[in-house]
């Protein structure tokens, strides 16, 4: 099974991705995390990615594809995986199908309005050491400014500044939103309301997942 999480930046893909990992045992693959790691390592690829990310633009399809190809070839992805932040363009959607054509797919699109995104990202904090994500309003760390997981010092992400967030939302509307129609047509799209709170969203996703896995099992028997 390939589970694709679709939705605007700050829409809760990471949070719901973690929920899916617990529920399925599949690894979560976040292209944002893979890219930030490449940036930190200071590779040539990382330097090119950094320029695009800083401005709120997208990194070239070829670069992201290489990262995803390598990641899903690892043994822990054999049973399935959760893609968070990938695909983000129509050509990436075709890339992932070509990479792994026979895998059953479900797409979960999390719907959140632009106003809500701007509000959420302004209060988002993350741990530069382990990547854990917090929110000063809805997902507070136990100790202010300190990562619950590794005790690192929390910081706002540079690309969460309001002017960059606006650009990321613009890019989302232009490049990523067309994927909703693409997957609707393909028949793999499921939409959930991302503004009802973390638990309600997770419950909605669980239903979709159970229905899909149930159908998969029936299919395997028949
Ligand atoms: P968010 O979903 O909150 O925008 P991510 O951590 O997923 O944050 O991504 C951060 C940045 O990394 C994006 O703004 C973009 O520059 C780059 N990026 C992540 N995934 C992709 C992708 N699939 N294609 C191109 N660029 C990407």
d(CA 1, CA 182): 19
Q: What pLDDT shows up at residue 157?
A: 86
Q: What pLDDT shows up at residue 214?
A: 79
pTM above 0.85, yes or no: yes
What mean pLDDT is predicted for residues 122-151?
A: 92
pLDDT digits (tens, 9 = 90+) for 73-128: 999 999 999 999 999 999 999 999 999 999 999 999 999 998 999 888 889 999 98
Average pLDDT of the chain, as a whole number = 92
Contact 88, 13 (CB under 8 A): no
Q: How far is the CA of 219 from the centre of ligand 1 (A)?
A: 35
Catalytic residue among 2, 36, 71, 88: 88
Mutate to test the pocket of ligand 1, among 12, 48, 59, 133 (most ligand atoms within 8 A of CB): 59
pLDDT digits (tens, 9 = 90+) for 4-47: 999 999 898 988 999 999 999 999 999 999 999 999 999 999 99
Q: Which of 119-123, 133-137, 200-204 has the highest mean pLDDT?
A: 200-204
């Amino acid at each position: 099974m390939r589970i694709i999480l679709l939705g605007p930046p700050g829409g809760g893909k990471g949070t719901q991705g973690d929920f899916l990992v617990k529920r399925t045992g599949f690894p979560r693959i976040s292209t944002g995390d893979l890219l930030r790691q490449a940036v930190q390592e200071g590779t040539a690829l990382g330097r090119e990615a950094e320029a695009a990310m800083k401005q709120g633009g997208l990194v070239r399809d070829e670069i992201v594809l290489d990262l995803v190809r390598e990641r899903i070839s690892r043994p822990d992805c054999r049973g399935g995986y959760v893609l968070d932040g990938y695909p983000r363009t129509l050509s990436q959607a075709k890339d992932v199908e070509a990479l792994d054509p026979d895998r059953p797919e479900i797409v979960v699109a999390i719907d959140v309005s632009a106003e809500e995104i701007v509000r959420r990202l302004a209060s988002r904090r993350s741990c530069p050491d382990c990547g854990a994500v917090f929110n000063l309003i809805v997902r507070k760390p136990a100790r202010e400014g300190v990562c619950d997981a590794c005790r690192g010092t929390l910081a706002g992400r540079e690309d969460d500044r309001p002017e960059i967030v606006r650009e990321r939302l613009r890019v989302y509307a232009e490049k990523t939103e067309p994927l909703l129609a693409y997957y609707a047509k393909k028949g793999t799209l499921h939409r959930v309301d991302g503004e009802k709170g973390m638990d309600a969203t997770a419950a909605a996703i669980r239903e979709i997942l159970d229905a899909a896995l149930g159908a998969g099992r029936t299919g395997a028997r028949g």
